[in-house]
A and B are shown apart, each in its own frame.
Chain A
């Protein structure tokens, strides 16, 4: 298209100037040729002008399209960022609006799901002595003495009492370290 435009422009100028400069105005045939040449030159110049105008309009449209696409992308990014922010704000407001014990429960549940300590606890709970350890903890919280715990929970009274004390200490050390 550009080549056509340049050829038409150049030919219009050549068809305008060359016959006027070279041909004799007194001869009828030359005069006729000049007229034809000038008419053709006008046609070439108008055609080239039309092509150039179409190209200029297309360039303007492309520029407008590019600007519109850029504005659309920017708007989309801004909207998604705004929505994301709104969602986070709503979630935070919901958490704040719920009762405190529920928040604590949610927090503990989340901790249970995501923290590695839960995995350790899970492995500890699968241990056969874990239930015994829980009973020991409850008894200690209830204020029971070590002797009572050894005799009634570990069932190691009498001659096995010293072994029972060692076992108790081992259990406590084991599960409290894992905690």
Chain B
């Protein structure tokens, strides 16, 4: 059951990135906004890798869990945007 709920949240993340791509396809300004948002996410993602120990203390989770979250976030982004662009 734990795997089920993790899989569902993962799918929700993938769909959210697909929705982000859909928003980007609506208008050029939206596209730029989404690009800025993605850039901000990329910076936050890189900083999270650099500050993983302090961030894990701040979020009160283990470093391994934080790293798993970061990797799964990247996978969600790739799958979500990939599905939207390839269809």
Contact (Cβ within 8 A) A20 B8: no
Contact (Cβ within 8 A) A16 B14: yes
Instruction: Give how many B residues have a beta carbon under 8 Å from the other chain's beta carbons.
Output: 21
Rounded to whole angstroms, the CA-CA distance of A21 and B25 in the bound complex is 15
Q: Mark A126-142, 1 if CB is under 8 A from B, else 0.
A: 00000000000000000
17 of the cross-chain contacts (CB-CB < 8 Å) are A8-B8, A12-B12, A16-B15, A16-B18, A16-B83, A20-B18, A20-B83, A25-B25, A31-B25, A35-B19, A42-B19, A45-B8, A45-B9, A49-B5, A49-B9, A52-B1, A53-B5
A59 to chain B, nearest CB (A): 6
A37 to chain B, nearest CB (A): 10
Rounded to whole angstroms, the CA-CA distance of A35 and B9 in the bound complex is 19
B15 to chain A, nearest CB (A): 5
A56 within 8 A of B: yes
**Known contacts A20-B87, A52-B5, A56-B5; is-contact A13 B22 (Cβ 8 Å):** no
User: Which residues of chain B are near A53, meaning CB under 8 Å?
Assistant: 5
A153 within 8 A of B: no
- Write the residues of chain A forming the contact surface with B, with a CB cutoff of 8 angstroms: 5, 8-9, 12-13, 16-17, 20-21, 25, 31, 34-35, 38-39, 41-42, 45-46, 48-53, 55-56, 59
Contact (Cβ within 8 A) B15 A34: no
Rounded to whole angstroms, the CA-CA distance of A55 and B2 in the bound complex is 8
**Known contacts A25-B25, A38-B22; is-contact A20 B84 (Cβ 8 Å):** yes
B43 within 8 A of A: no
